[in-house]
Structure 1
Amino acid sequence: MSEDRVPERSESSDLTPPPPEPSASELLGAALGGAARSAGLDPNSDASTGRVVWTAMGGWRGVVESVLPSLTFVLAFTLTYDPDTETGNLPLSLGLSVGLAVVFTVIRLATKSPPGPAISGLIATVAAAALALFTGRAEDNFIPGFVTNVLYGSAFLVSALIGWSLIGLAVGFLMGEGTAWRKDKRKRRVFFWLAIAWAALFAARLAVQVPLYLAGDVTALGTVKLIMGLPLFAPMVAVNWLAVRALYPTHKA
């Protein structure tokens, strides 16, 4: 009797094709979407517009951490301004600003709160203060902010012009459709204008603040920076939130 032979299984039958590597747009969308979700900007949530905006601003703690160091610098420099020398006490003003940023960071670490916002604020404050101390010009304390506005504004503008809106990439990831939104003319148009709106905001900040910097008017520059900060950021977030919820009505509460 011949032995029954079991047919050998082909090794190729056990092999499954590896999953495709994520594209650069998918990776960028995941990064942007993750950041938006961490900031409370998830279109899948049932939160009200006001709550979403308040969460994106970081609540009372986020507002204080964002505003107080800059406000303290402006007040200290203005109050110590000497008309004869046409300057204020720069070391004192910068020291108070950096000191507050350090306090906020320590409080977050002590209370085991997410330290990211405070740490990023501290790094920005220290970098700006170091530059101003190095040059001896108080207005140079605002240069890092100008650089940030240029980078963010350029990124939003370029992404809109080439048809890969950063807003669309983030929303596509959050809504689980990847880059499929690019096949929808309505979504592409909305995401294009939202990106343009953000680019316009950053450009407006530069258009107003750079002339004040060139004029060396530290008090006016600091005041305008505060006015064009959160007071403009909040309505922009609200507009984006409402626009996205209108595009995805099935996800509304």
Structure 2
Amino acid sequence: MTVGAHTGAVPSQHDDDTEGLAPAAFVDGRYDADGDPTREESLARLLGGGRAAIEGSVPPVAFLIGWLASGGDLLTAAIWSLAASAATLVVALVQRRKPRAVLIGMLMTVIAAMIAYYTGEARNFFLIQLLSNAASALAWMVSIVIGWPFLGLIVGGLIGTKTRWHRDPALLRAYQRASWVWVLQYVIRVVVFTVLYLLNETTWLAIMRAALTYPLIIACIAVSGWVLFAAIPKAHPGIRKPQVALAE
């Protein structure tokens, strides 16, 4: 909750180590997400990081407010969370955006509430979050190890380069390095949620569920974006121009 393909040329023999580590965004002639050569390419702008993080934060924050206001009533907190998700859905539809992420969030809230209700334990409302983050961490790690990092697949789809970055060694390496930041964000959540779940700290689970959404997503996008562009050699033309011929 959550989180492009950048391709480039391998540095020539005349490039020194310092140049090879320079962020690709600072090279003259590289374009940002809107095709403006005067502004830096930004992973946050490509992924819509700010909006996505805010939308992802609304349901858990609403759950926390409902939980505290009702004195720990699970049904009330779940209703607040669903109502907040519905409001976010309406906004997305009014703005004529695809509400896929919002719908998925609503579905997960319903499933989480059902699990908690039928097990009789409020802490189980957060079980699906714990498991989904663990699964995401594992999936991202596997994608990196097999050489198909998810970040490359996501960005490649967004900017139209598709999977051509995979045949560009410089971009493949950059996407792999940046994808480890995404693994870290999932691991952080898993560790925190697991400890609080085992301690049966439902209130703190609600607090940390909200705290580890918006701030962590924003931090993850910012750090992974920096790692991505810093890993692309300075001589590389950028993520929108995969140098596939050099890898063939």
Under a length normalisation based on structure 1, what TM-score does the superposition of the two structures give?
A: 0.66
1:1-253 equivalence runs, <5 A: 44-45=33-34, 46=36, 48=40, 49=42, 52=45, 55-58=48-51, 63=54, 65-81=55-71, 88-109=72-93, 112-171=96-155, 174=159, 176=161, 178-179=163-164, 181-182=166-167, 184=169, 186-246=170-230, 247=232, 249-251=236-238
Q: Which has the higher helix share?
A: 1
| Structure 1 residue 182: Cα displacement | 4.7
Unaligned runs of 5+ residues in structure 1 are 1-31, 34-41, 82-87
Say which SS state the counterpart of residue 114 (structure 1) adopts: coil
Secondary structure, counterpart of 2:161 in structure 1: coil
Give the partner amino acid of 1:124. Answer: M
Letter in 1 for 2:125: N
**C-alpha contact 2:44 2:50 (8 A) present in aligned 1:** no
Q: Distance in 1 between matches of 2:69 and 2:87?
A: 23
TM-superposed CA distance for 1:205, in Å, is 0.9
Q: Identity over aligned residues, as a percent? A: 23
**Distance across 1 between alignment mates of 2:199 and 2:185:** 22
- Given the two structures, how large is their TM-score scaled by the length of structure 2? 0.68
Q: Which has the higher contact order (CA 8 A, sep 6+)?
A: 2
Relative to structure 1, the CA distance from residue 54 to residue 231 in structure 2 (aligned partners, 3 Å threshold; closer, same or farther) is farther
Give the whole-Å Cα distance in 2 for the aligned partners of 1:242 and 1:98: 35
Q: Which moved more, 1:208-217 or 1:166-175?
A: 166-175
